[in-house]
Chains A and B, each alone.
Chain A
């Protein structure tokens, strides 16, 4: 039953035209929800959550840092999945997604690195350490840059997307290997305090605003992907009838 629904969605959203109408129905309410969730999480975390007994107020940067890092990681995984679908099944929407997912993910990786190093200065006494997690995030940023660069130089959009897709697949394997290989080098970063399963070691008063800002960041990422994918679909299908009518009706 669930499988049937997934299959139907896969085929329906695989059609650029259906995706376009679907996204114009979703975006008007997803956008405000994403913004409200993110702002709620950030305001709660930055202004109302208790300060840490060891780190004082400087810990509050996690309310930006952790959502950005998790978004960057999930974005690259999504890039790999879209790459697989684009290379193996040559699905048009997966190619569009490859182009739509990369920029925001790269920005989040950069934010994660910047906030991390700002937090590192008062806490570890240094802006930068070649520690496992920081190094992996830096390499993740490099790989986002590679995918974006490859897409930009190949003119034919379908070919560009599939080339970037293959690179993203190889990249996902690389991310995993890099993560374990840099752990072999000494690690400074703290382990995860937030666990999906089992007891989290973070105070609940800090956990809930963190979870909310993470959710808000992911929703915002989704909104960004939808908007980018819409304009990419419009560009790719610019010669088709439905886009022509769309233009004539003034985008309504």
Chain B
């Protein structure tokens, strides 16, 4: 547990000292969303119709792009090698890293989402559901994306490759994440769909870090 705390505070500190990595995904999220009213139509009815999907696709892409260099700096500085050879189980610092990354890049997306949802003309009564869905969904996206990031860490061309690997794995989270907002707008039963989203989070948060650790071991040739 003390290892976990130490790793967590290290990761938070490292991320905190490179604010671009925190701010860029957030601005990406805001910018992508503001493209849609300009490209499709500023009409409130149309916007409200596409809003759940737009919010979710933008959040998904922002999370994925923020993960591109997740392990790169650690690899270049040799920290990763030390981590893999240290007597600590790799899963522990990996979980800390994912948690730190989500706290500083995923959580801000959740916090600004009601503002954006309002700008996309979603009714006020669903703003809570928007936030809840992203709160349950973005950590799952972080963990799944980290698997792809771990597998491509040694390759100097993340970007598109990461997208090709990770996007198909994001689909279930996307379906239920955007689905729960749509259900809320139609006045359907929200808790059931939220529960499925929570189940996906439980699955990825429990098994995902193991896969990330295995991926890091494979990438470093151990």
Residues of A within 8 A of B179 (CB): 184
Q: In the complex, what residue of chain B is closest to A138 when comparing beta carbons?
A: B168
Within 8 A of B (CB), among A161-189: 162-163, 166-167, 169-171, 174, 177-178, 181-182, 184-185
Q: How far is the CA of A145 from the CA of B167 in the complex (A)?
A: 11
A188: shortest Cβ distance to chain B, in Å? 17
Return A131 CB to nearest CB of chain B, in Å: 13
Residue pairs across A and B with CB atoms within 8 Å: the count is 70
Instruction: Offer 14 A-B interface pairs, CB within 8 angstroms, sorted by A.
Output: A87-B218, A142-B164, A150-B165, A156-B221, A159-B218, A163-B215, A163-B219, A166-B147, A166-B151, A166-B214, A170-B211, A171-B169, A181-B171, A181-B176
Give complex CA distance A92, B47 in Å.
53
- Which of chain A's residues have a CB closer than 8 A to the CB of B144? 170
Q: Is A139's beta carbon under 8 Å from chain B?
A: yes
Q: Does A2 contact B (CB under 8 A)?
A: no
Q: Kindly list chain A residues whose C-beta atoms are within 8 Å of the C-beta of B218.
A: 87, 159, 162-163, 166
Q: Which of A103-155 contact B (CB under 8 A)?
A: 139, 142-143, 145-146, 149-150, 153-154
Tell me, yes or no, whether B202 is within 8 Å of chain A by CB.
Answer: no
B200 on the A face (CB < 8 A) = yes
Contact, CB under 8 Å: A149 / B168: no
Q: Is B43 an interface residue (CB 8 A)?
A: no
CB pair A171 B168 closer than 8 Å: yes
Q: Decide if A178 touches B171 in the complex (CB within 8 Å).
A: yes
Determine the residue in chain A with the shortest Cβ distance to B157. A153
Contact surface of A with B, Cβ cutoff 8 Å: 87, 139, 142-143, 145-146, 149-150, 153-154, 156, 159, 162-163, 166-167, 169-171, 174, 177-178, 181-182, 184-185
Q: How many Å from the CB of B189 to the closest CB on chain A? A: 13
Query: Which of A87, A143, A166 counts the most chain B CB atoms within 10 A?
Result: A166
Take A149-B161, A166-B215, A167-B151 as given contacts and tell me if A143 and B168 are in contact as well, using a CB distance cutoff of 8 Å: yes
A154-B155, A181-B176 given as contacts; is B171 within 8 A of A170 (CB)?
no
Chain A proximity of B221: nearest CB distance (Å): 6
Expressed in whole angstroms, the Cα–Cα distance for A184 and B211 within the complex equals 27
Q: What is the distance, in angstroms, from A30's C-beta to the closest C-beta of chain B?
A: 33
Is B172 engaged at the interface, CB distance under 8 Å to the other chain? yes
A87 touches B169 (CB 8 A): no
B175 contacts the other chain (Cβ, under 8 Å)? yes
Q: From A159, A163, A174, name the one whose CB has the most chain B CB atoms within 10 angstroms.
A: A163
Within 8 A of A (CB), among B142-192: 144, 147-148, 151-152, 154-155, 157, 161, 164-165, 167-169, 171-172, 175-176, 179
Cβ of A100 to closest chain B Cβ, rounded Å? 19
- On chain A, the residues within 8 Å of B155 by CB distance are 153-154
A178 to B173, CA, bound (A): 9
The answer on a CB contact under 8 Å between B171 and A167 is no
Complex contacts, A185 vs chain B, CB 8 Å = 175
CB-defined contacts of A174 to chain B, threshold 8 Å = 168-169, 171-172
B175: chain A residues at CB < 8 Å are: 181-182, 184-185
The residue in A169, A170, A182, A185 that gathers the most chain B C-beta atoms within 10 A of its C-beta is A170
Question: A163, B169: Cβ atoms under 8 Å?
Answer: no
Flag if B215 contacts A159 (CB, 8 Å). no
- Complexed CA–CA distance, A17 and B155 (Å): 32
Of the listed residues B148, B152, B168, B219, the one surrounded by the most CB atoms of chain A closer than 10 A to its CB is B168
Residue on A nearest B147 in the bound complex, by CB: A170
Complex formed: what's the CA distance from A138 to B109 in Å? 29
B166 and chain A: residue at smallest CB distance: A146
| Closest-CB distance, A172 to chain B (whole angstroms) | 11
A139, closest chain B residue (CB): B168
CB distance from A63 to the nearest CB of B (A): 29
The reply to whether B214 and A177 contact each other, CB–CB distance below 8 Å, is: no
- B172 touching A181 by the CB < 8 A rule? yes
Residues in chain A near residue B164, CB distance under 8 A? 142, 145-146, 149
Known: A171-B168, A181-B176. 18 other contacts (CB 8 A): A87-B218, A142-B167, A145-B164, A146-B164, A146-B168, A153-B152, A153-B157, A154-B154, A156-B221, A159-B219, A162-B218, A166-B214, A170-B147, A170-B169, A174-B171, A177-B172, A178-B172, A184-B176
Query: B43-65 interface mask toward A, CB cutoff 8 Å, 1 = contact, 0 = none?
Result: 00000000000000000000000
Residues of B within 8 A of A181 (CB): 171-172, 175-176, 196
List B residues 114-157 near A (Cβ within 8 Å): 144, 147-148, 151-152, 154-155, 157
